[in-house]
Amino acid sequence: MIRSAGPDEQSTRNSPEEHPPVTVPPQADSDGGAGSRTIPEASVARLALYLRMLGELAEQGTETVSSDELAAVTGVNPAKLRKDLSYIGSYGIRGVGYEVRALLHQLERVLGLNHRQAVALVGVGNLGHALAGYNGFGGRGFPVAALFDVDPDLVGIHINGIVVEHVSAIPEVCAAQGVTIGMIATPGPAAQGVCDLLVGSGVRCILNFAPVVLQVPDEVEVRKVDLAVELQVLAFHVARRHVAGHASASNGSAANGTGGNGRTRNGHASGVRTFPLVDGTTTSEGRA
């Protein structure tokens, strides 16, 4: 069955709150038992953040960390952090906190990082080339194992020691490399065909940088990264702060006896103040 992840769904794929809970597969827990736990998607995203900070603490030689300390460096509310960690069966020790390395390994297990997650990148243009050359993926447990493109000038070159293959080789190369995650950085029109090849090769998780909505089977997870949308969201916040600052300045002028139009006001003066809106238009407010 093919489903289409609509614009509203895929545009919020970067927002963890919009995802359904994730069930951690049955496996040995820290107490030696086995079981599965359902973790909210928002908590999963924060677990990845805790993992990154714990890795930095481990590199610094830190042995234990309190929930308040870990919450402070990750920018998360301490109570929320403790709740997140309780989903994976980690509660810390009163007065001591969490053992950094033990919690680090536990998070790696829960997030599936205790085994290799090979990544295939399709499209090595400007963005794709930058992604292919980024060494941070391998350091986080996501080595880029295969590169693909259709450009004759790119096929056959080496990036970070990996040869760029033609997209027609996706099925055999992905199978040989044990690819579990695909990244798509192609132009929009080519993305769906590339996605179909990846899915047909057994890839069930896709990170999509292409500006299109992909159609995928129900069992395939797609997360969309649209940098233009993220910039538009930031532009909204910039505009909102601008409006708030203008309103604050107008209120300050009013408190000093000067109206928004620069004329001196008294208790009986009348006039109209004009406020800019986020979309660039204006609205007027009468006063008596």
Query: What one-letter code names the amino acid at 257?
Result: G
Contacts of 235 (CB under 8 A, 6+ apart): none
Q: Is 267 annotated as a binding residue?
A: no
End-to-end CA distance of the chain: 64
Q: H helices of the chain, where?
A: 7-11, 41-59, 67-74, 78-86, 100-110, 126-132, 136-139, 170-177, 188-200, 227-255
Q: Is 126 known to sit in a ligand binding site?
A: yes
123 is in an annotated binding site: yes
Is 92 annotated as belonging to a binding site?
A: no
CA-to-CA separations, 215 to 88, 128, 184, 195, 211, in angstroms, rounded: 33, 21, 13, 8, 13
Does the annotation place 125 within a ligand binding site? yes
> Is there a binding annotation on residue 266?
no
Return the H-helix or E-strand segment holding 179.
Answer: strand 179-184
The annotation places the binding site at 123-128
The annotation places the binding site for NAD(+) at 123-128
